[in-house]
A and B are shown apart, each in its own frame.
Chain A
């Protein structure tokens, strides 16, 4: 059974800091891994999608890496801004066509 965990559960940083969010999954047989952002009371916004054959994806100040063999992904946010404050969720698509989510990391960027 695929399980997804995220560390840390919550993170508070001063504006301008670079930060790393971690995601781990137990079954390496995934099709892809996706990072999402969720603002309080809102739906999910897709940030980055990494296919199982890829090692990283970049979009602006965001960089996501994937190490399938070790079951890990990291989301790197450069030069954090208060507008980055949100919950960040990682999700893996399994061979059973299901998307399994982690519990999320709640990020607060202090001005």
Chain B
């Protein structure tokens, strides 16, 4: 296992199209996070899963966004009817709930450009 994997690395789409990103966490990690990062800013929290349960969603996650983690392993983030303001880097992270040691490991991200 080489860490958190995200696909695709880059996605260019026309406004109004739907896009789906995939995140494969480190295999034994039961927590999975999605973040969005725009240029010059730190990552902003979008949503969080523990196993297959989606425990929290940010207000940033509008109705056009949906995330799933059907079997508690990989996760998908779908954006429907994309808008130019959705252009950003989408980062996935995973961690394991194991005592107090909850270091988060991040993937390389998916860069979305909406034209």
Contact = CB atoms under 8 A, between A and B. Distances in A.
Interface in A88-111: 89, 91, 93, 96-104
Interface residues of B, number: 29
A4 B41 CA distance: 12
- Interface residues of chain A: helix, strand, loop or mixed (majority): strand
A51 B111 CA distance: 31
Interface centre among A6, A32, A43, A46 (most CB of B within 10 A): A43
B41 to A, nearest CB: 6
B40 to A, nearest CB: 8
Interface string A21-33: 0000000000110
A4 B91 CA distance: 19
A36 B111 contact: no
A49 interface: yes
Given A96-B56, A98-B56, A43 B104 contact: no
A51 B103 CA distance: 9
B31 to A, nearest CB: 7
Nearest to B92: A43
A6 B96 CA distance: 27
B30 to A, nearest CB: 11
B107 A104 contact: no
Contacts of A49: 101, 103
Given A42-B109, A44-B91, A99 B44 contact: no
Contacts of B44: 101
A96 B35 CA distance: 16
Contacts of A31: 100, 102
Contacts of A102: 42
A97 B43 contact: no
A107 to B, nearest CB: 14
Interface of B: 4, 6, 31, 33, 35, 40-45, 48, 50, 55-56, 89, 91, 93, 100-109, 111
